[in-house]
Amino acid sequence: MGEDSEFFFSLIVNGISIGMLYALIALGFVLVYKATEALNFAQGEFVMLSGYIAAALLTAKGMPVIGAIIGTIAIMVGFSFALERVVLRPLLGRPIVAVIMATIGLAAILRGLPPLTFGAETRAVPLPIGDDPLVIGPATVPPIQAIGFVVTLIFLGGFTWFFRKSRTGVALRAVAENQQVAAAMGINVERYFALAWAMAGVASAVSGIVWGNMLGVDVQLALVGLKVFPVVILGGLDSIAGAVVGGLTVGVVESLTAGYVDPYVGGGTKDFAPYLLMIVALMFRPYGLFGKRKIERV
């Protein structure tokens, strides 16, 4: 391979490996939207919060790694559960602006709390994995990204199976389709809402551990939440496979613009190139690439 194509290849590989991690965050977002039609603007803050929890548990004395990971997941599930009960349930049936603003308010709270409780310094999330990067041709992938890749694939497979085959998953889809009819069929809608948030809590906890290990945990970690929007819009807000496709697209686009455009314009394109792509996509497919088209009645 020539030098140019090697550069291109490594950009693509980096884009794919980081894109899978975006997809992991987006999963938490899509799970909630799919079942409850609530748009969670605090997804990035969820990731940050679970990063803090993981950092605290992993550095605690005498705590085995697996225990810390399970602990983080358990705390995040409990947190999402409580959140649904206290904040989002009263907003059921209210205009979409209300839910968006509630999660924005939540994001503000979560962003303000860590400096008050944990202090301002960046914390590490130590995981017992090596530093040797994976070598794929001319490209190298840090081990944590490889792990993230595998975890995302497992989640993708698991959730797809869950929604297609399991009884609970089918019930969740029924709730998403039409709450009233689902309730008439004997499905406890509120319990399934709580379940959807709990699953999102699991996804957030795992993304918090992976991203926290990669970047270190501080308030800046919440900014990865901003990447989620182009991912989920490109993929369609209610499609799990779409989240992965969107994540990969955004990862690759980011990596390519950072490699080819940044040197000419002084950096920072990778933060808004996905958004540009998203707007173009929205003009042609207003419900995302894989999203369901809604039929409205007057």
Partner 1 sequence: MFHRETGVFKTSYASDMALYPLPIARGTVIALLVLFVVIVPLVFGEYYLSIINLVLISIVGALGLNILVGYTGQISIGHAAFMSVGAYTAANLAVRAGLPFWITLPAGGLMAAIVGAVVGIPSLRIKGLYLAIATLAGQLIIEWIINHVPWISGGTQASIQVPRPSLFGFEMKTQGELYFFLLFFALIAIVAALNLVRSRIGRAFVAIRDQDIAAEIIGIDIFRYKLIAFAISSFYAGVCGVLYTYYFGIANYEQFQLGVSIEYLAMIIIGGLGSVLGSILGAAFVALLPLVIRTVMESVGGFFFAANEMATVVSSMRLVIFGALIIVFLVLEPEGLNRLWRNIRNYFRVWPFSY
Q: Count Cβ atoms within 10 A of the Cβ of residue 231 and give its class: 0-12 exposed, 13-18 middle, 19 or more buried.
A: buried
Whose Cβ is closer to partner 1: residue 73's or residue 281's? 281
| Least Å from the CB of residue 118 to partner 1 | 11
Q: Which whole-number Å values give the CA distances from 235 to 4, 99, 148, 160, 256, in the listed order?
A: 30, 21, 19, 15, 19
- Between residues 127 and 277, which has the closer beta carbon with respect to partner 1? 277
Q: Minimum Å distance from CB 63 to partner 1?
A: 28
* From 2, 64, 93, 95, residue interacting with partner 1 (rule: CB under 8 A): 95
Considering only 74, 92, 104, 153, the residue that binds partner 1 (CB under 8 A) is: 104
- Cβ of 199: how many Cβ atoms within 10 Å? 24
Near partner 1 in 211-270, by CB under 8 A? 226, 229-230, 233, 237, 265-266, 268-269
| DSSP character at residue 88 | I
Residue of 12, 69, 92, 100 that binds partner 1 (CB under 8 A) = 100
Q: What is the DSSP string of 238-263?
A: T-HHHHHHHHHHHHHHHHHHHHHTHH
Please state the φ and ψ torsions of residue 122, each to the nearest 5 degrees.
Answer: -75, 135
Cα–Cα distance measured from residue 225 to residue 116, given in angstroms and rounded to the nearest whole number: 21
Q: Which is nearer to partner 1, 121 or 131 (CB)?
A: 121
Q: Which of 1, 63, 70, 109 binds partner 1 (CB under 8 A)?
A: 109
Single-letter code of the amino acid located at 159: F
Nearest 10 degrees: CA dihedral of 239, 27, 46, 275?
-60
Q: Which residues contact 252 (CB under 8 A, 6 or more apart)?
A: 11, 12, 15, 16, 19
Is residue 108 involved in binding partner 1 (CB under 8 A)? yes
Q: Could you give the CA distance from residue 172 to residue 175 in angstroms, rounded to a whole number?
A: 5
Contact 130, 116 (CB under 8 A): no
Binding to partner 1 (CB under 8 A): which residues in 4-63?
39
Site string for partner 1, 139-178 (x = CB under 8 A): ----------------------------------------
| Binding piece for partner 1, criterion CB under 8 A, among 12-20, 126-134, 191-199, 274-282 | 274-282
Q: Total binding residues for partner 1 by CB under 8 A?
A: 48
Q: How far is the CB of 288 from partner 1 (least distance, A)?
A: 8
- What is the SS3 assignment for 210? helix
Residue 111 C-beta: closest distance to partner 1, Å = 6
**Which of 107, 172, 217, 224 lies at the binding interface for partner 1 (CB under 8 A)?**
107
Q: Closest separation between CB of residue 214 and partner 1, Å?
A: 22
Q: How many CA atoms lie within 13 A of 135 on its CB side?
A: 3
**Which residue ranges make up the site for partner 1 (CB under 8 A)?**
39, 87, 90-91, 94-98, 100-102, 104-116, 120, 226, 229-230, 233, 237, 265-266, 268-269, 271-272, 275-276, 278-279, 282-283, 286-288, 296, 298
